[in-house]
Amino acid sequence: MASVFGSPLTALYVRTPDYDSMDPADRKRLDANIRLAENAGAEIVTTHGDDIPEQIAEYARLSGVTKIVIGIKSADRRRIFFRPTLTERLFELVPGIDIHVIPDTSTLSSYRSRKESYEGSFIPSWRDIGVTAALLAAATGIGFLFQRLGFTDANIITVYLLCVLLTSILTKGYTCGVIGSFISVILFNFFLTEPRLTLQAYGSGYPVTFAIMLVASILTSTLAAKLKAQAKLSAGDAFRTKLLFDTNRILQGAKDENEILTITASRISKLLEVDTVVFPAAEGALSEGRLFSAGDEAGSAVKAEGDEYNAAMRALKGKTASGARKTPDKGSRFVYSPIRAGDTVCGILGISDPKSRSGSSDRGIVQSILGECGLALENLRNAKGREEAAVLARNEKLRANLLRAISHDLRTPLTSISGNADTLLDGFGMLDDETSRSLLSDIRDDSEWLAGLVENLLSISKMGDGSIRLDFSDQVVDDVLEEAIRHIDRDGAKHRIRLDLRGEPMLARMDARLIIQVIINLVNNAVKHTPTGSEITVSAAAENGNALISVSDNGPGIPDEMKRRVFEMFFTGDSDIGDSRRSLGLGLPLCRSILEAHGSELVLTDNEPSGCVFSFKLPLSEVHLND
């Protein structure tokens, strides 16, 4: 029916306080029905309460159920004291929902109210009988004491009511409480009313007193037993809630799908004290799993083979429980259930020894944990999807900016090279040497700029994808800085560039080639953004076990509102793409990436009285005299 209407199927089980005293045959039938629902792909839901129709109706209202299917014994249509049947109560409680009643002649009545089903708990244990007898004897003794002290019968009756209340609390079921109610009336009449040691009473009002005492005792006993049962159910609900909360908290801290699956299997193994196994699943295939023994949180690697593989694959393909609960899988040690994230099966969980832990409560907890696992997997996949979408959007923006910047900045030097080359070709033999030298110099400068641009693009691409390998070695800082200064652009000749090397030579651990590129980019950046004739200083000094390397200038500086953007790709100060100064805005991002690979960072500060300072630190190497 669910497949015909295209609706999800839910199997609802209402657990009453009588569950612990349920007949073994009824419990076996219940477990068989739950397994049948699992194999049909139904979601198993367990609620707790003593009013079955009310629980069904409340769940249907909260879950938006449109159809209820219920099986009932067709012959069981009699009414006891005109009490409505289960189906009649459901029609009253949920009149707007379609209720389909399926007759079932092979089972007992599917609904017996708590007041009609004392069979399971009617015969009390010897312990309960002893507790009841002791309490009644104590109440009678206290009654004798109260009479000697001159207390009224009302005080003695209160003692017997307290005795019945304690009996209901300290014993199981209703039997001892109800029997204690009758016996308390008999004891009060026999020992504490005149004539004593008889069941007669001289007072004309005693029969009414006895009747009221009996009714009050029975009501007290019933209410106490009911409250005890509800307290037990509430404790179970609190345990399940805390368990699911803790599981959800642990699952939310997992970093990948395999860790989520491992946590789920480990928690279930610890909770049920059984062996569990979990296999990650992807594209219809099972990966290497982990086996958890009872109490073992680490687990061990395991592969699905033979009967276990067949049972696990059956659960994977059918998306329903398989394994040791079904006849075709007798060789399987585990009961396998799929772990879903939405409509996708992400793993297969196997639980061993199902017969010893086949209670509906345990099964409900397992299903709830699997639900939390599926939700965590779905959240993880959604987070990955959002991250991938953000990366794609960022890469697309980067690609667009790169194309715009390159098309803008390559046009000027290429046009210049092409124009100068045409001039040289057209005026070959007619141009004087000075003009030819100037044109050739311009072509060389533009070519070198293009070569530097390509080098920066390649370097930042390699730093971004991690393909570049750093070759660390101990280098003399002074030599590295001097080598970098020799490779500054020719425009650097228009500025005053000086080295400020303080103290003794220092050894620092670095990739010299990349650090030279950092210094070159920082100096070239200062050359491009400071007026002609500005002073640019490259300095190095020891500071707390590090070599502090700085590139400073006395130019106009960088406004505070622009400082947070100077390390963004394609930011040039005037626009987000390359400008007339031939800057793609790649130099500073590349420097930052190189220094981060060295475990350092590039820091921007103001220079006094004007200008700015870019600085970074490299760890000094120890110098051994014997080396």
pLDDT in tens, 349-358: 888 865 544 4
Q: Is residue 412 part of a domain?
A: no
User: Rounded to whole angstroms, how far apart are CA atoms 115 and 226?
Assistant: 11
pLDDT of residue 100: 84
Centre a 10 Å sphere on the Cβ of residue 618 and count the other Cβ atoms it contains. Answer: 22
pLDDT of residue 479: 92
pLDDT of residue 407: 64
- For residue 417, give both structure tokens: 């090279």
pLDDT of residue 551: 94
Residues 471 and 613 in one domain: yes
Read off the pLDDT of residues 510-548 as tens digits, 9 standing for 90 and up. Answer: 988 889 889 988 998 888 888 888 999 999 999 888 999
pLDDT of residue 324: 43
Q: Is residue 357 part of a domain?
A: yes
Residues 100 and 140 in one domain: no
Residues 491 and 561 in one domain: yes
pLDDT of residue 510: 92
Q: What share of the chain is helix, strand, coil (3-state, %, to 5)?
A: 55, 15, 30
The gap from C-alpha 155 to its chain's centroid, in whole angstroms, comes to 59
Q: Is residue 490 part of a domain?
A: yes
Q: Which is higher by pLDDT, 219 or 538? A: 538
Centre a 10 Å sphere on the Cβ of residue 188 and count the other Cβ atoms it contains. Answer: 23
Q: Which is higher by pLDDT, 617 or 238? A: 617
Residues 607 and 508 in one domain: yes
pLDDT of residue 353: 63
Residues 518 and 582 in one domain: yes
Element (H, E) at 340: strand 334-341
pLDDT of residue 114: 43
Sign of the CA dihedral running 222, 47, 68, 320? negative
Per-residue pLDDT for 112 more than 80?
no
pLDDT of residue 402: 61
pLDDT of residue 406: 62
Give the residue-averaged pLDDT of 320-327: 46
Domain boundary among 382, 417, 443: 382
Domain region containing 471? 461-619
DSSP assignment, residue 50?
S
Q: Is residue 391 part of a domain?
A: no
Per-residue pLDDT for 82 more than 70?
no
User: Rounded to whole angstroms, how far apart are CA atoms 24 and 567?
Assistant: 73
Per-residue pLDDT for 484 more than 50?
yes
Residues 263 and 171 in one domain: no
DSSP assignment, residue 620?
B
The gap from C-alpha 391 to its chain's centroid, in whole angstroms, comes to 22
The length of the chain in residues reads 627
Q: Which is higher by pLDDT, 54 or 295? A: 54
Per-residue pLDDT for 384 more than 70?
yes
